[in-house]
């Protein structure tokens, strides 16, 4: 059966829309308890580093937010499994902090205006109370339409993925998934492309979210104060592979940015590479965080230590050629160009497969360095 746009919109609205968050004395108290719990759990975890600085702020926040969702859950659950999950996050963060060429990673998520309203009434101050009690960074976005959640950087992308998942679970940003019956092995990996295309799904989401998609920026901080080379090409392959054309077409800013600045982590000087072309959509977002983080390590490490980036560029250029596209080093990927390329379904599939296979190789290589 072919699903028409109105039906798809109903599906997204009825099954994907996160209910408004409950903000009352009980949840505010739970947020405060959770913040104290996060600090206490981290201080007893045995992780190596300065827990009294801001080095593990993202990890502490992830634990706090996870515990908050546990406390406000209606279901009776055993804490044992959640405790194991927290211990895995601590282990992953500690292990990643020792990987020499792996940059830190952080995210910025802009949540649309409709999530300001609780029962139809705008209550920005309620969000502020929750974020303050959780000690969670939350900023007013540059326009009037949404909040921006800017997480602290972490050594492990698993911490950022967990933070994103828990922000959705806490109903602070919308969940944008679609029903199991519509999933398949089509263009989106889990969606059957004959009746759900990248743009039709994004269009339904856009209408549901007050003409805005849930924007996702990824920040990568290079150790040693070095700039990432080939930033434009690096950003382009991930934007084409993981972002809907509609999101790229609706962007007002450039696809990426590089900034000088200080970081909260072990190294005092950093160069922040901000990739601005992404969106929070479905499970692909979590895969994106993992793979872009792994790939950033080969972009930053010296070629003598890791030749994978040079080898990957050759394979990536061949993928462009295979799709009758010409790439040269002087090529600039504007948002208009990214939009056109992201509509090429064959290119998207091949880039995703190359990204996946190379990420596996990088993961093995990092453990030996």
Alpha-carbon gap, residue 274 to 107, rounded angstroms: 9
What is the rounded CA–CA span in Å between residue 200 and residue 176?
A: 13
CA dihedral (113, 119, 121, 123) positive or negative: negative
Contact 73, 119 (CB under 8 A): no
Q: How many residues does the chain have?
A: 369
| Three-point CA angle 172, 8, 178, nearest 5° | 50
* Residues 81/240, Cβ–Cβ less than 8 Å: no
Which of 140, 132, 110, 61 lies closest to 210, judged by CA? 110
pLDDT for 227: 61
Task: Please give the structure tokens belonging to residue 192.
Answer: 């059957």
pLDDT for 23 equals: 83
- Burial letters for 35-73: b for 16+ Cβ neighbours within 10 Å, e otherwise? bebbeebbeebebeeebeeebbbbbbbbbbbbbbbbebe
Q: Is 147 helix (H, G, I), strand (E, B) or coil?
A: strand
Q: Residues near 317 by Cβ (< 8 Å), separated by ≥ 6?
A: 327
Report the candidate in 281, 320, 144 with the shortest Cα–Cα distance to residue 202: 281
Q: Where are the alpha helices (DSSP H) in the chain?
A: 5-11, 25-43, 57-72, 79-96, 124-134, 157-169, 198-208, 231-242, 245-250, 284-300, 308-322, 335-342, 345-366
Where are the chain's structural domains? 22-101+120-173
Integer Cα distance of 58 and 56 in angstroms: 6
CA 172 to centroid of chain Cα atoms: 15
pLDDT, block means (10 residues), the chain with 369 residues: 38 49 88 94 82 81 95 80 94 90 88 54 72 80 63 93 90 62 39 49 53 76 65 92 84 77 54 86 84 88 70 90 73 85 92 94 82
């Amino acid at each position: 059966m072919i699903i028409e746009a109105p039906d798809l919109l109903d599906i997204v609205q009825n099954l994907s829309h996160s209910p408004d968050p409950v903000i009352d004395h009980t949840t505010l108290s739970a947020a405060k308890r959770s913040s104290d719990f996060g600090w206490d759990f981290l201080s007893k975890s045995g992780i190596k580093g300065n827990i009294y600085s801001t080095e593990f702020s993202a990890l502490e926040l992830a634990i706090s937010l996870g515990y908050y969702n546990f406390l406000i859950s209606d279901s009776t659950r055993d804490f044992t499994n959640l405790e194991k999950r927290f211990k895995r996050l601590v282990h992953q963060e500690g292990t990643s902090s020792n990987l020499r060429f792996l940059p830190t990673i952080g995210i910025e998520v802009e949540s649309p205006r409709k999530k300001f309203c609780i029962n139809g009434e705008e209550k920005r101050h309620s969000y502020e109370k929750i974020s303050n009690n959780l000690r969670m960074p939350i900023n007013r976005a540059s326009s009037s339409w949404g909040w921006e959640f800017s997480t602290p950087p972490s050594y492990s992308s698993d911490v950022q993925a967990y933070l994103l998942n828990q922000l959705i679970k806490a109903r602070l940003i919308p969940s944008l998934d679609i029903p199991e019956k519509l999933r398949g092995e089509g263009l989106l990996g889990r969606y059957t492309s004959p009746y759900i295309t990248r743009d039709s799904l994004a269009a339904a989401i856009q209408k549901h979210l007050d003409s805005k998609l849930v924007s996702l920026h990824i920040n990568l901080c290079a150790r040693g104060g070095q700039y990432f080379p080939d930033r434009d090409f690096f950003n382009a392959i991930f934007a084409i592979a993981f972002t809907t054309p509609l999101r790229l077409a609706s962007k007002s800013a450039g696809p990426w940015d590089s900034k000088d600045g200080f970081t909260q982590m072990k190294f005092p000087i950093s160069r922040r590479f901000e990739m601005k072309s992404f969106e929070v959509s479905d499970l692909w977002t979590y895969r994106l965080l993992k793979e872009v983080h792994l790939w950033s390590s080969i972009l930053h490490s010296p070629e003598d230590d890791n030749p994978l980036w040079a080898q990957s560029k050759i394979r990536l250029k061949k993928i462009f050629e295979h799709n009758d596209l010409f790439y040269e080093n002087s090529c600039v990927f504007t948002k208009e160009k990214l939009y056109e390329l992201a509509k090429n379904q064959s290119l998207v599939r091949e880039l995703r497969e190359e990204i996946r296979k190379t990420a596996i190789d990088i993961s093995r290589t990092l453990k030996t360095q």
